[in-house]
Amino acid sequence: MESLYSSSEAYAVHTLLVGPYHKLYIEESGTKQGIPVVFLHGGPGSGCNSAHRRFFDPDAYRVILFDQRGAGKSEPLGETANNTTQDLVADLETIREHLGINRWLLFAGSWGATLSLAYAQKHHNRILGMILRGVFLARRSDLEWFFFELQQLLPQAWKEFSNDVYPCRSASDLINWFHTAVHEGNKEIALSAANKWAEWGAKVAYWHLAEKSHQSSEAAKLNSQQSQRLLAKVKIETHYAKHHYFLTDDELLQRVSELPPMPVSIVHGVLDITCRLNAAWQLHQAIPGSKLITLPQTGHLIDDPEMATALVHESNGMRETLSRLL
């Protein structure tokens, strides 16, 4: 069993102005001479943390973590203007060029996997390979599943999530209501809606872990700063969901055949109901030579022990593969 690597410190931190006013937070760890790998966080709007460095051998990888526009330590926090999938794809190229990297490995999960595929299809000549977790393809059917059809599996949680929304006949009804509440409502309405949105996401992610699911559903007593960070995250999530992630329906699957041969590992939990296994299977079928690893006791979370072990295993395997190719 391969465990997470020990905690390591960043050896360089950068701030990079992109667009008219977005300022990205970027950090590097591991070894400057190592295989470049960029970690793409989920959400959108979640941000990175120091634990994300631990999936990579620090003696073999040059690890780049960055917070996407409006997320984490990037500024302004929660800003949705000039914040689209196409902007984030352009940011990746700006970061790569700024750091003097020719080609890099993409390591990403959930929304990060979406962004990886969008970037790969535009800049495939800049990619060494991909490790993708909990694949999200950002299709309308994926939104209908997460926001509407899941009421069949989690009826009480969905009722609590949707009880202010009327009429509620589709995912769009829910998304539009929450978008209006967090972007246009007063402080009390916005924070209440943000908490409901976040609680639903947590209940879905933790559904198979009864004790943690119960704990995640308890309304946390957040201080003012924590509340503002949560609201910022939900503003970005609702912004992207309302605009269908700035992608045409099924765009990622339709264009994935354009990718040249490269090593691709797809890791997905069988118990993941946030992003369904069929998305990972369809992506695997669309990328010749890709590797699909399914984890029978694991859901969507990156820190599930089985998931963490599998990701480190793939990171180590990719290290050996790319060392032979470079």
* Residue 110 a catalytic site member: yes
Say if residue 218's pLDDT is above 80.
Answer: no
Percent of the chain with pLDDT over 70: 96
Q: What is the pLDDT of residue 209?
A: 83
* Residue 315 a catalytic site member: no
Q: What is the pLDDT of residue 286?
A: 95
Extract the tokens encoding 158: 């969905």
Percent of the chain with pLDDT over 90: 88
Q: What is the pLDDT of residue 212?
A: 53
Of 74, 290, 300, 304, catalytic: 300
Say if residue 217's pLDDT is above 70.
Answer: no
Q: What is the pLDDT of residue 255?
A: 87
* Residue 272 a catalytic site member: yes
Of 52 and 1, the structure prediction assigns the larger pLDDT to 52
Q: What is the pLDDT of residue 258?
A: 82
Q: What would the pLDDT profile of 271-320 be if each residue is shown by its tens digit?
A: 999 999 999 999 999 999 999 999 999 999 999 999 999 999 999 999 99
Q: What is the pLDDT of residue 216?
A: 46
Of 67, 91, 142, 272, catalytic: 272
Q: What would the pLDDT profile of 93-106 be if each residue is shown by its tens digit?
A: 999 999 999 999 99
Per-domain residue ranges of the chain: 12-138+247-325, 140-245
Q: What is the pLDDT of residue 208?
A: 86
Q: How sure is the predictor about 37, in pLDDT bands with cuts at 50, 70 and 90?
A: very high
**Predicted TM-score of the model (pTM):** 0.95
CATH number of 12-138+247-325: 3.40.50.1820
Of 110, 216, 265, 315, catalytic: 110
Say if residue 54's pLDDT is above 60.
Answer: yes
Question: What is the average per-residue pLDDT within 254-268?
Answer: 93
Say if residue 165's pLDDT is above 90.
Answer: yes
Q: What is the pLDDT of residue 322?
A: 93
